[in-house]
């Protein structure tokens, strides 16, 4: 995934930029970057943040990066921001998203005379550089951004800094958010709208899907109006958005309470024979859902295990799965008084491979738990994300659901069968759940329904992307790349 943040001010922007980017640290683990424009022109710093947080890596750079404008990012993939010199002039650029038609766009760029790209490890190119190359194909920044958005299959939110303004462009279908904050001296552009609260900015403007705005210290000027169609990522609310953030005016924490309330309501209506002693959330993202469940059901909320935060403050993990499992195990510390002889109802944001939740359940039984009821706060994950660089699994077959489906259906599963497994009223769905329940040794298992998930968000169904669970909405065929293929 990743996050971006920018500031344009009448005064020094450096400290606001530093803290604003740092507040996006939950969105990525690989690279952090800051670029400023000041008396010495463009200046930039990029660091590897895989083993050490953004703040510790950049606290010394802050003294050297002086300017009144700046952009930066937390990136899960390529080093950014890039400093570019083209016929449009000098600029810095940072992006969040994913390009699925990279080969096609590279071919297009070479045909247009672009001779080379920076190569990163394993022969991959820097995606942000490819985006800049598309922008440079046109006569103005505005036209270039609109052109890049049309050409890219995937999703791309872009933040640029020229010598006199910032330019912000939200991805074509608004899968990721982009907001403007304002205070007396200037404006900021941010993925997360909580990132500027403590810096003194107030909410000023939320870009619509595909909208492009120019930003100066005084305010914004619209360069391209938003499109009508929106497919904002619903996983933002379920898992990776920060609890204090709101997207499209809907707060993450409050949405998670509603999820929990709906899970409780269904249990009270359909599962009257289960009587948990306590409700708990798997830290951190399951906690708010559990609070909602406890409030609605009247069953006390408790924390039978607590995360050791002083040394494990970040919610994302190393790429290596074994290390991830180890870290997950090490950072959760049990409270045996709250486990022994208790019937527990546990809410996790989702089940990916099932390994960690299975181990947690075994651990709870070994610690004396009498029952472990599991309520994931979203439906069964069946499809990897093709739109953003966000995935909770390396391949679809890592997902416990897909492994069970392969065992039942063979290696080649027709799409209509997969969609049947996604239907909460189908026999296949219920048999798959029973298999997951048995394998992971849960007393009972019931997932959040997709229609309830959409209701918990509160936006019209057609405005939110639910592809991970429903498999619907893979391609809207809007980008030029797709149109050429059809």
By CB under 6 A, residue 8 contacts ligand SF4? no
User: Closer to ligand SF4 at the Cβ: 22 or 349?
Assistant: 349
| 239 secondary structure, DSSP code | I
Q: Tell me which residues in 162-181 interact with ligand SF4 (CB under 6 A).
A: 175
By CB under 6 A, residue 401 contacts ligand SF4? no
CA–CA gap between residue 454 and residue 231 (Å, rounded)? 12
By CB under 6 A, residue 237 contacts ligand SF4? no
- Which of 208, 213, 351, 219 lies closest to 282 in space, CA to CA? 351
By CB under 6 A, residue 345 contacts ligand SF4? no
Q: How many residues bind ligand SF4 (CB under 6 A)?
A: 12
Write the DSSP assignment of 121-166 as a string of letters.
GGG-B-HHHHHHHHHTTSSSHHHHHHHHHHH-SEEEEEEEE-SS-E
User: Closer to ligand SF4 at the Cβ: 161 or 468?
Assistant: 468
CA–CA gap between residue 286 and residue 256 (Å, rounded)? 8
Do 196 and 205 meet the contact criterion of CB atoms below 8 Å apart? no
Part of the chain binding ligand SF4 (CB under 6 A), chosen from 6-14, 141-149, 365-373, 462-470: 462-470
By CB under 6 A, residue 468 contacts ligand SF4? yes
Do 376 and 396 meet the contact criterion of CB atoms below 8 Å apart? no
- The DSSP H or E segment spanning 73 is strand 69-75
User: Closer to ligand SF4 at the Cβ: 259 or 302?
Assistant: 259
To ligand SF4, the closest distance from the beta carbon of 96 in angstroms equals 12
Do 364 and 443 meet the contact criterion of CB atoms below 8 Å apart? no
Among 5, 108, 235, 442, binds ligand SF4 (CB under 6 A): 235
DSSP strands (E only) in 301-409: 305-307, 332-334, 343-347, 371-374
To ligand SF4, the closest distance from the beta carbon of 437 in angstroms equals 24
Per-residue contact string for residues 370-389; x = within reach of ligand SF4 by CB under 6 A: ---------------x-xx-
To ligand SF4, the closest distance from the beta carbon of 22 in angstroms equals 24
**Dihedral angle at the C-alpha atoms of 254, 29, 450, 325, nearest 10 degrees?**
-110
Part of the chain binding ligand SF4 (CB under 6 A), chosen from 58-66, 69-77, 339-347, 466-474: 466-474
End-to-end CA distance of the chain: 29
Among 45, 75, 94, 234, binds ligand SF4 (CB under 6 A): 234
User: Closer to ligand SF4 at the Cβ: 175 or 289?
Assistant: 175
Contact residues for ligand SF4 (CB under 6 A)?
175, 233-235, 385, 387-388, 390, 465-468
């Amino acid at each position: 995934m990743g996050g971006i943040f920018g500031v344009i001010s009448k005064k020094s922007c450096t400290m606001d930029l530093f803290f604003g980017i740092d507040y996006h640290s939950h969105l990525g683990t690989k690279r952090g970057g800051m670029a400023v424009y000041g008396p010495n022109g463009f200046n930039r710093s990029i660091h590897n943040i895989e083993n050490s947080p953004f703040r510790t890596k950049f606290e010394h750079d802050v003294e050297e990066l002086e300017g009144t404008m700046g952009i930066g990012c937390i990136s899960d993939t390529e080093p950014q921001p890039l400093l570019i010199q083209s016929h449009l002039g000098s600029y810095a650029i940072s992006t969040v998203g994913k390009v699925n038609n990279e080969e096609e766009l590279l071919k297009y760029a070479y045909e247009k005379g672009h001779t080379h790209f920076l190569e990163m490890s394993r022969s991959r190119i820097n995606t942000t550089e490819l985006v800049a190359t598309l922008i440079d194909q046109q006569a103005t920044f505005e036209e270039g951004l609109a052109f890049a958005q049309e050409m890219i299959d995937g999703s791309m939110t872009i933040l640029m800094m020229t010598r006199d303004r910032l330019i912000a462009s939200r991805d074509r279908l608004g899968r990721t958010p982009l907001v403007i904050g304002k205070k007396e001296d200037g404006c900021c552009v941010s993925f997360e709208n909580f990132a500027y609260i403590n810096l003194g900015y107030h909410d000023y403007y939320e870009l619509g899907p595909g909208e492009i705005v120019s930003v100066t210290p005084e305010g914004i000027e619209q360069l391209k109006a938003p499109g009508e169609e929106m497919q904002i990522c619903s996983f933002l609310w379920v898992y990776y958005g920060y609890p204090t953030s709101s997207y499209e005016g809907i707060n993450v924490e409050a949405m998670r309470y509603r999820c929990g309330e709906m899970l409780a309501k269904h249990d009270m209506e359909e599962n009257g024979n289960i009587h948990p002693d306590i409700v708990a959330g798997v830290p951190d993202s399951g906690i708010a859902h559990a609070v909602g469940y406890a409030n609605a059901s009247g069953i006390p909320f408790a924390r039978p295990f607590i995360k050791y935060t002083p040394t494990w403050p970040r919610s994302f993990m190393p790429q290596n799965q074994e290390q991830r499992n180890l870290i997950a195990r090490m950072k959760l510390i049990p409270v045996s008084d709250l486990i022994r002889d208790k019937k527990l109802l546990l809410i996790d944001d989702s089940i990916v491979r099932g390994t960690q939740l299975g181990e947690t359940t075994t651990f709870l039984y070994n610690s004396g738990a009498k029952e472990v009821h599991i309520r994931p706060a979203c439906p069964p994950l069946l499809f990897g994300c093709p739109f953003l660089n966000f995935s909770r699994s390396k391949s679809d077959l890592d997902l416990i659901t897909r492994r069970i489906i392969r065992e039942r259906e063979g290696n080649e599963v027709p799409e209509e069968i997969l969609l049947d497994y996604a239907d909460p009223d189908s026999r296949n769905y219920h048999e798959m759940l029973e298999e997951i329940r048995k394998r992971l040794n849960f007393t009972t298992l019931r997932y959040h329904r997709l229609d309830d998930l959409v209701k918990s968000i509160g936006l019209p169904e057609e405005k939110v992307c639910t592809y991970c669970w429903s498999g619907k909405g893979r391609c809207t065929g809007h980008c030029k790349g797709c149109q050429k293929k059809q």
